[in-house]
Amino acid sequence: MFILHLALGGCLKSPPVHYGITADTGGHIAYILDAAMAQADHIDTDQVSIVTRLFDDVALDREHGLASERISPKLTIDRIATGDHRYLEKEALANDLAAFTEAFCAHLEGLPRLPDVIHAHFSDAAAVAAEARRRFAIPFIYTPHALGIDKRKHQGNSPALDGRIAAERSAIAGADAIIVSTRDEAERQVHAYAAPVTGRIHCIPPGVPSRDASPISRPSLSERLDTMLADPAKPIVLAIARPVAKKNLGALARAYAASPALRDAANLVILAGQHEGPGSPEERAVLAELQALAQSPALHGRFALPPEHDGHDVAALYDRAAKGGIFVNAALHEPFGLTLIEAAAAGVPVVATRHGGPSEIVGALDHGLLVEPSDESAIAEACLTILADPECHARMSEAGRSGAAHYDWRRYAAESTALYARLPRAPGLLASDIDHTLTGCPAGAYGFAEWRRASGLPFVVATGRSFAMARAILSQWGLPEPDAFITDVGTRIMLKSQRGWQECPAFSARLNHGWDRKAVVAALKPLRLRPQPRDTAGPHKLSFFGTAEDAMRVRATLAEQGIAAKTVFSHGRLIDVLAPLGGKAAAVAAYARRLNLPLGACIAAGDSGNDVDMLEACGHAIVVGNASDELAGLPPREGLMRVAGHHARGVLEGLERLGLADPKPAAIPVRSAIRASAA
């Protein structure tokens, strides 16, 4: 898979990044870099490109004027030049958007291979991606990062904000899918735009931000603080944010200044961007207020406002704050809050705004307190509550460290690339279950065989049965031979060659990754499950009889022992434990790659629980009318069809909806009907 991330605003470069150097160089830059690096490490990714603007500004790093930077063997940052080589703030990008769009499309035309997906960050990138989709049929994902409707609650109406909200509404309505970080974004913020999003919005939490790990020879900022503070032995109240009004840094400083008890308990340290950067009028105003407070007699020697910092400094300050201190995010509204999970991973309790993503993060991790950011006395009281109680501090510190594992970039990479792959494309492959999907109706089976004879669409079967049994059943029902067999619940792919049918060695080797069959056998032995016949097992599959409750016990047992595996329950009585990279969806994806097709171009058809993963993963899915209750929980989405027809008639009904089958059913010969009935 070739993934392209598109982001126009901010100073996007190879690490280390100078966060806060401009008003737009904030959390979304860290998100994009970490997401792209994790995706580049993913097993199914061939190439990742981060595309941004090329600009040349003497006050900013020279890398922004380079056409390309290689971050890793599979990851590059590629920059698009227009006639305007100045650095442009977010509000000024609109004037350059048309030129950037044309330059970006020219960039795509010149690539040896088009990307499989464009992941657009902010609405301006979504507008560019929408035009690229129109010209090149590349689907696009939209991540808003921060939405204007919530900003309007605190800032009021303005023509610029109204335009931004209109652009966001267009992006939400037009994207093939939307990735957000929190349920609040998914369930409230995006829905406030009144654009239909059913089946298109996906909550995928990001991971803990990475920091530059290269060695340094100078003292860290944490060590240099000792010369800035009158009593450096005190713990610190730490805040890290861009100096913009919505981050509410002034309220934190005023809350600290107004509380003698808080000033006695801790020092205040605020990292408010890089003070020597270009700086917008808003940033300069926020910094001026903070500098005035830092220089006031009451706060002199208690409030440190370092003019610059890097990733090493941030990591060192988190470590210092973990020793009895706290982290504060008092933003008026925070869409997510990467700094809060960064603090959690470092063991730093937090005081955070109750508006936006922090309420979800703190609620999940229980590593801090939520406050109303407009209530400065409440900010001070919450800080003191944690600072004055060592047991509370220790409990929150441990909760943060253990809970931060929930935010994992590897998981983000797996879930996001799976979503990219299943975005609907023009159909290029049918993958169908056999039992009760293609079988069960003689007329339907005959009609399907007739369709296969007339259709040039590649076709594979994906079954829980063995290869030999799958071939026998197809023959009994007069069903056509597929181009490939996916058998044993997606743990074998059988390919036809001049020497006959042979197992795909590459897929078999792939399934060895992370699979410890002996450990699975040992872990499940105490459950005393009844095994299925010996010939149903395989090197990457164990099979048992049992109930849905038994399947839950299997999952729980393997999870408790940290053993990676997939547990599949189907037909009300079958339990299959598979290698973690196995399953019908994985096998369909592997075969589709041989045809240079993404999962989004695949059609899956099925009726039972062992079909769930491919019905969820493929861009088009047909759930036949006789499907079991095991498929009742499949969420509605674009591309998922619940048809009325049973068995193969249902498959043909789905193909007809896709324009791939004749709506007139074929008449079944008497001889074929007798043979199928006997089967």
Q: Tell whether the model's pLDDT for residue 90 goes beyond 90.
A: no
Omega of the bond prior to 297 within 30 degrees of 0, cis? no
- pLDDT tens for each residue of 471-529: 999 999 999 999 999 999 999 999 998 889 999 999 999 999 999 999 999 999 999 99
Q: Tell whether the model's pLDDT for residue 673 goes beyond 50.
A: no
Q: Tell whether the model's pLDDT for residue 677 goes beyond 70.
A: no
Residue 27 has a pLDDT of 86
Kindly state the tokens that stand for 205: 């939490």
Work out whether strand 2-6 and strand 566-570 pair parallel, antiparallel, or are unpaired: unpaired
Q: How far apart are CA 20 and CA 279, in angstroms?
A: 9
Amino acid at 131: E
Residue 666 has a pLDDT of 52
Q: Tell whether the model's pLDDT for residue 432 goes beyond 90.
A: yes
Could you say which architecture CATH assigns to the domain 2-203? Answer: 3-Layer(aba) Sandwich (3.40)
- pLDDT tens for each residue of 132-154: 999 999 999 999 998 888 777 76
Q: Tell whether the model's pLDDT for residue 599 goes beyond 60.
A: yes
Q: How far apart are CA 448 and CA 655, in angstroms?
A: 10
SS3 623: strand
Tokens 């998914």 — which residue? 186
Work out whether strand 574-578 and strand 541-545 pair parallel, antiparallel, or are unpaired: antiparallel
8 A C-beta contact, residue 628 and residue 531 = no
Residue 67 has a pLDDT of 96
Could you say which architecture CATH assigns to the domain 424-513+581-678? Answer: 3-Layer(aba) Sandwich (3.40)
8 A C-beta contact, residue 237 and residue 326 = yes
Q: What is the DSSP string of 222-248?
A: HHHGGGT-S-TTS-EEEEE--SSGGG-
Which is nearest to 54 in space by CA: 21, 26, 79?
79
Kindly state the tokens that stand for 518: 């002996």
Are 2-203 and 424-513+581-678 equal in CATH topology? Answer: yes
The residues, any chain, with a CB within 8 Å of residue 145's CB and separated by 6 or more, are: 27, 28, 31, 121, 122, 335, 336
Instruction: Work out the average pLDDT over 635-663.
Output: 93
Tell me the longest C-alpha to C-alpha distance in the chain.
100
The residues, any chain, with a CB within 8 Å of residue 237's CB and separated by 6 or more, are: 252, 256, 262, 266, 267, 268, 269, 325, 326, 328, 383, 387
The beta strands (E) that lie in 19-58 are given as: 47-53
Instruction: Work out the average pLDDT over 90-94.
Output: 86
- Locate the domains of the chain by residue range: 2-203, 221-406, 424-513+581-678, 514-579
Report pTM: 0.81
Lowest mean pLDDT among 310-314, 433-437, 542-546: 310-314
Q: Does domain 514-579 sit in CATH 1.20.1440.120?
A: no
Q: Quote the CATH superfamily of domain 221-406.
A: Glycogen Phosphorylase B; (3.40.50.2000)
